[in-house]
Structure 1
Amino acid sequence: SGSGSGSGSGWDDGGADPGDVALLLLSGGTTGLPKLIPRTHDDYAYNARACAQVCALDSETVYLAVLPIGFNFTFACPGVLGTLMAGGTVVVAPDPSPQTAFALVERERVTLTSLTPPLVPHWTDEAASGSWGLGSLTLVQVGGARLPEDQARTLGPALGVTVQQVFGMAEGLINLTRLDDPEDLVCATQGRPVSPDDEVLVVDSDGRPVPDGTPGELLTRGPYTLRGYYRAEEHNRTAFTPDGYYRSGDVVRRLPTGHLVVVGRIKDQINRGGEKIAAVEVEEQLLTHPAITAAALVGVPDERWGERSVAFVVCAGAAPGAREVAAHLKERGLAGYKTPDEIVRVPGLPLTAVGKVDKAALAQELLRR
C-alpha cells in the first residue's frame, strides 16, 4: 500500500473524517422495501468495540462467522470487526450447517459464534449426537429474531456454552444479555443496551411513554444510532420524532432492569376483526407442540374479518390436525381469536439471505393459491 499521494503508487489517503459515512447498510426489508442506512467511521467502530467489551473478547478469541458477513450482526455485534479490534481470529464458514460449523469449531478451536433462531434446533440436534469436540466453544449469540424461551434454555446445555441473546438493528441500537445475567434474563429477554449513553423510550400509539412491563413501540437515540436514512427525506420525516428519536417499529416490553422483551413488529401484527394478533406470540406457542419444529404466522386479506391468520408449520413426523393444534393452543392459554384460521404444512420455511423467515414470500405463496 502507498504512503500517500506523493508515493508514486497512485494511492490517495483521501483525508476521511471520523464522522464521514464509512458504509451503507441495508435495512431488514422483511416487511417492506429495504432502505440505505449510513454508518460513520466513528459510530460503527464504537458499535463493534462496545459489543466486544460486553462479550469480553481478547486476543485468544476465535470467532466463527456462519452467517453472511454483510449482516450487521455478523460484522460488528461484535462479529468480525469486534474480534479483529480485540486482536482475535476470524474463521469464515462456507455454510451455516452444524456439520460444517462443528468441524471448524474442532479444527480452529472456535470460542464464539452467532446464530439466528431457525438454526438453533439443527445445532442442538446435531450436538446431541455427542460425536463432536466442542470444548473450546464458550459463547453462542442468537439474534436477528426473537429466540423462543424453551430453545434458549436447551441451547446452552446442549452445546456446553453460555448463551447470549442479541437484539439489534442495522440502524444502530444493540441490546445484549450480559455474561453474568441470571438464566431467566438470558432466556426470557433480548438484552439491554450496550452503551450507557443509549436512550430508550417505550411509547403507546400516541407517543406517550408507557410503564415498565407494558408493550409499546421502541424509540431510541444514542451515540451510534443513525440520524436519517440515506437520500430518504420524506421517509425520515416519519421515521424520527421531532427531538431525534428513531422510531424502530419494534414492539417491546421493558423490565425494571432495563432488559427488553421483544413482542414483535408493528407491521408483523394481524388485525382480525379489530383484534390485534402479534405473530411472534402465536409462533412461540405453536413451537411448544411436540410435532412442530418451525412456525410462521402471516395475515392474508379476508372479506369477513379484514385479515385472517395462516400458520405455516414444519413438522417432525405426522402433522397435527387443525383441531389438535387449536386444543393445544387453548391448553397453553392462548386466546381463541389468536388461534390460526388455517394450518399449512410445509417442508421448510423460506429464509432471507441473513437467515430471517421471509414472510413476504409466504404471503405471496398464499395469494398465488
Structure 2
Amino acid sequence: MTIEFTPWPADRAQRYRAAGYWNDQPLSQLLIARAAVQPQAPAILCGERRISYGELDRRASNLASRLAAHGLGQGDTALVQLPNVAEFYIVLFALLKAGIAPVNALYSHRQHELGAFARQIQPALLIASAEHEVFRNDAFLDDLAKEGLRPKLTLMLDALDDWSASADVRGTHYAPSPCGEVALFQLSGGSTGTPKLIPRTHNDYAYSVRASAQICALDSDTRFLCALPAAHNYTLSSPGGLGVLHAGGCIVMAANPEPLHCFALIERHAVTMAALVPSAVALWLQAAPGHAAKLRSLRLLQVGGASFAEALARQVPEVLGCKLQQVFGMAEGLVNYTRLDDSDEQVFTTQGRPISELDEVRILDEQGQPVADGEPGMLATRGPYTFCGYYKSLEHNAQVFDQDGFYHSGDIVQRSADGNLRVVGRVKDQINRGGEKVASEEIENLIVMHPDVTHAALVALPDELLGEKSCAFIVSRNPQLKPIALRRHLMGLGIAEYKLPDRIRLIDAMPLTAVGKIDKKQLRALLAVAPTV
C-alpha cells in the first residue's frame, strides 16, 4: 500500500535522476551511512545525554522493529508531536526505516490543529508527550475515537526509551517506502485554514538536505544548535538537523531560542552554527553585550522564516561575532541561501538564490508576464525538490499550480542581476508572526463561532520585534463584548497560542470593497490612526 500524492511528470523525474539529484536511496540512509563509518561520534547532545551515531541508528532500528511487530509499516501514517528532545530524531528515523510517513506537528499546536491533521491522514500511530496539555488526559483521543480516527497504537514520550532499547524478536521485518514515494509530510504556512499537508518523497527531500549541507559547508566538526522547533522544515532540512547528520556533525538540542539559555549551550558544547528567525535574532542582539566569550565558537548564524531588516542583518557579525547567512525557503520545496562567499551587500540585503541549477523561478506580474530584474513580482517555481501538489487538495492545487506545473507561492519578490532574491511582500492573506504563519481565514472562521460576533477580519500589525503581529477587527451584536472573552473563546477551541490575536478592536461595520468583500486595506489604514486593545 502506498500513500497518494501528485508525482513529478516523467520527463522531469528523468532529468533529476540524470543530473544525479535523485539517487533512489531512502532518507534513512543518511544516518545508516554515517553510523557505519563513525559509530562512536556524537550525533545528538540533549541535556546530559550524549547519543552517538551508532546508538541513534540502533535505537531507530529497534523502534522500527517494535512498530513492525504491531503491524505497522509501508502505507501507514503517524501523527507525531514532540518537544526539542533527542527522541524526535529517534522517532523520525524509526518511521523512515519502517515506511511510516509522519506528520510532525509543532509542540505549540493544540486540539484544533492536531485534530485537523488526524482527519487528513487518519494516522495508524500517534506519538506524543503526556506533559503536553492535550495529552494530560484521554479527552483528545476520545474525540478521535468518536470520529473513527483513534490510532491503532499510541505511544507517549516517557515510553520511548524502553521501546527503542531493544528490538522485538517477534517481528523484525521492516522496510522504508520506495524512494519515489512519500517519506514524510511537511506543514504549509497556510493562508486559508489549518496547515495543508505537503508530501515530501525520499528522493526530493534527501536531495534538498544534501545540497543544503554542501552550500553551508557542513562537516564532522559542525555543532548545530537546534533552538527552533525541530519539526519545522527550516530546522529539519535547511540544512537543519538532517543536514548535520548527513555531514557527520552534532546536533545540540535547546528547549527554545531564549538568549542566555542558548549562549550557555554554545559555550558548553562549542556550537559552531545556529538557525533563528528574525525575532529571536533581535533578542540575541539585545542580550549579547557582555557575553562575547560565550559566543566565541559560533561561526555561522542562519536567519530565515520571516523578513529580516537590513539594519538588524548588519549587526549580526558586529555584535555576535559570526558570519550571517540568510535563508528564504518554503516547506513546499524551493530554498534560497546567500552563499558563504557572497559580498556583504548580498548577504545583508537579499535572501539568497536557489539551491539548484534546475530550480526554475519565474517572477510574474498580475497578468502572468515576467517582470524585469529589480521589479517586484509574484514568485512561481518548480524544480527537483519542489512538490507537485498538496495532499488530497485538488481544488486548492488547481489554484496554486499553473498549466506548466509551476507552484505559485504567494510571495512577492525581486530578483537582482546576480540572481539573488529579495522578499518584499506576500499575495496571500497570511500573517508572519516571528516566523510562525497565521492564516487569517482560519482565525476569522473561529472568531465568528462566538455567539456575539457577526463579522471578523484579521490583519497584520507591524511590529519591530516579530515583524508582524495580528489585529482582529470585530463586529458584534453585543456592545459589551470584551477582548478577554474572545481570547477565552479561541483558547477553548484549542488553537495554538501564537494564533491568538495580539490586538482586538470592535467596530460598528466592516468596510467593503466594490464587490462586497471586506476591505482589509481600509482596516490596515485604521491601525495607523487609532489604537487597539
Question: Would the TM-score normalized by the shorter structure come out above 0.5?
Answer: yes
Q: Does 1:42 align with 2:214?
A: no
Give the TM-score taking structure 1 as reference length: 0.75
Gap runs ≥5 in structure 1: 271-278, 288-292, 312-337, 345-365
Distance in structure 1 (CA, Å) of the matches to 2:342 and 2:523: 36
CA shift digits 1:279-316 (9 cap, x unpaired): 99x94xx75xxxxx5553767585388335678xxxxx
Q: How many pairs were matched up?
A: 304
Deviation at 1:180, TM superposition (A): 0.7
Give the TM-score taking structure 2 as reference length: 0.53
Paired residues for 1:1-369 under 5 Å:
1=61, 9-14=170-175, 16-29=177-190, 32-130=193-291, 132-268=293-429, 283=462, 287=464, 293=465, 296=468, 302-303=510-511, 306-308=519-521, 341-342=528-529, 344=531
Change (3 A) 1:230 1:31: closer
SS in 2 for 1:235: helix
Distance in structure 2 (CA, Å) of the matches to 1:31 and 1:66: 28
Distance in structure 1 (CA, Å) of the matches to 2:292 and 2:372: 49
Distance in structure 2 (CA, Å) of the matches to 1:34 and 1:138: 34
Distance in structure 1 (CA, Å) of the matches to 2:330 and 2:299: 25
Distance in structure 2 (CA, Å) of the matches to 1:164 and 1:234: 37
Which of 1 and 2 has greater Rg?
A: 2
Change (3 A) 1:310 1:148: farther
* Paired residue type of 1:262: V
Change (3 A) 1:304 1:79: closer
Change (3 A) 1:167 1:241: same
Distance in structure 2 (CA, Å) of the matches to 1:164 and 1:343: 38
Q: Is the contact between residue 229 and residue 236 of structure 1 (CA under 8 Å) also seen in structure 2? A: yes
Distance in structure 2 (CA, Å) of the matches to 1:150 and 1:309: 29
Distance in structure 1 (CA, Å) of the matches to 2:413 and 2:201: 27
Change (3 A) 1:229 1:94: same
Deviation at 1:342, TM superposition (A): 3.4
Distance in structure 2 (CA, Å) of the matches to 1:237 and 1:119: 36
Identity within the alignment, %: 47
Q: Is the contact between residue 252 and residue 263 of structure 1 (CA under 8 Å) also seen in structure 2? A: yes
CA shift digits 1:139-162 (9 cap, x unpaired): 000000010110000112111000
Distance in structure 1 (CA, Å) of the matches to 2:406 and 2:357: 16
Distance in structure 1 (CA, Å) of the matches to 2:523 and 2:254: 35
Distance in structure 2 (CA, Å) of the matches to 1:51 and 1:295: 26
Q: Is the contact between residue 102 and residue 132 of structure 1 (CA under 8 Å) also seen in structure 2? A: no
Change (3 A) 1:31 1:177: farther
Q: Is the contact between residue 166 and residue 190 of structure 1 (CA under 8 Å) also seen in structure 2? A: yes
* Higher helix proportion (structure 1 or 2): 2
Q: Is the contact between residue 184 and residue 199 of structure 2 (CA under 8 Å) also seen in structure 1? A: yes
Q: Is the contact between residue 511 and residue 522 of structure 2 (CA under 8 Å) also seen in structure 1? A: no
Distance in structure 1 (CA, Å) of the matches to 2:300 and 2:294: 15
Match of 1:347 in 2: none
* Paired residue type of 2:221: E
SS in 1 for 2:171: coil
SS in 1 for 2:306: coil
Distance in structure 2 (CA, Å) of the matches to 1:295 and 1:81: 28
Change (3 A) 1:93 1:128: same
- Structure 1 stretches of at least 4 aligned residues deviating more than 6 Å after TM superposition: 2-7
* Paired residue type of 2:177: A
Change (3 A) 1:191 1:242: same
Change (3 A) 1:244 1:295: closer
